[in-house]
Amino acid sequence: MNIMILMNKLTFLSLIFTVLLLTTSCGDKEDFPNPIAASSMNWLFQEEVGQRFTMVDDNGITEDFVLTQSVGRNSQNDYQANGLDIDLSKISYYSQQFSTTYSDVFSMGLRSGYGNYGDTFLLNIGGVSYDIDLHEALVTSVRYNSDYLSYSTTEDGYENNGNPLYSTVTFLENEIINGITYEKVMYIKYNDFIVTNTDFTIKEIYLAKGFGLVKYIRNNGIISHRI
């Protein structure tokens, strides 16, 4: 393995360890009762700030995704729970922001679970943002431009309030993409706000543990995959 790549991975792993350590042992544990699980962190891009990955589409057009920010923190009321009385100061949060060749929107993040709810994976790609409960394997909110749908949280689980979400998430054991077999793949299918979609709306997304984004398909059928 290239020494520089190895050092980058070690730097990222060190950052993850620091975040997890802070959320479990910094000061009184009462201050950080909801750490993000290490298994959840593995869905993110496993490199340091400044590193990149490249996607190429069916027409041979490439796009670089450069990690510009990777930070973990206590949420400080960034997240407004819908339905439950949550002490938001005790929710952990991690985010990764990317710049792209053609200024496409792309970011990933995590919010720690609370009560009976699992860690939430946060994704914004091509202007569509998702909240995904990793424990329940459920898309709990979708936003596209000014349109927004979200489940409410209750003591008994999620409720759709008469406005169900049709976007889905499936966890695959493996997926072959461009001749490479990726283990543990998150597959997201976008099925909401159909009338506002365009040919370039991203309808299917594949993320692999240890890699992040590895494939997506637009509404016009054009496929982009990791190289």
* pLDDT for residue 33 is more than 90: no
The alpha carbon dihedral of 99, 129, 39, 180 has a sign of: negative
pLDDT of res. 45: 94
Coil vs helix vs strand at 195: helix
Amino acid at residue number 206: Y
DSSP secondary structure letters along 12-61: HHHHHHHHHHHHHHSS-GGG--BPPPHHHHTTS--S-TT-EEEEEETTS-
**pLDDT tens-place string over residues 39-86:** 999 999 999 999 999 999 999 999 999 999 999 876 444 444 444 455
Q: What is the pTM of this model?
A: 0.81
Tell me how far CA of residue 179 lies from CA of 49, 65, 221, 225, in angstroms. 28, 21, 19, 11
> Cα angle at 41 between 128 and 123, to 5 degrees?
0
**pLDDT tens-place string over residues 184-208:** 999 999 999 998 999 999 999 999 9
Cα(102)–Cα(126) distance, rounded to whole angstroms? 11
- 10 Å Cβ neighbour count for 193? 19
Domain boundaries, the chain: 3-226
Would you say 107 and 95 are in contact if contact means Cβ atoms under 8 Å apart? yes
pLDDT of res. 114: 82
pLDDT of res. 94: 93
Cα(13)–Cα(65) distance, rounded to whole angstroms? 20
Provide the CA 107 distance to its chain's centre, in angstroms.
Answer: 7
R_g of the chain computed on alpha carbons: 18
Cα(189)–Cα(167) distance, rounded to whole angstroms? 6
pLDDT of res. 18: 40
Would you say 185 and 199 are in contact if contact means Cβ atoms under 8 Å apart? no
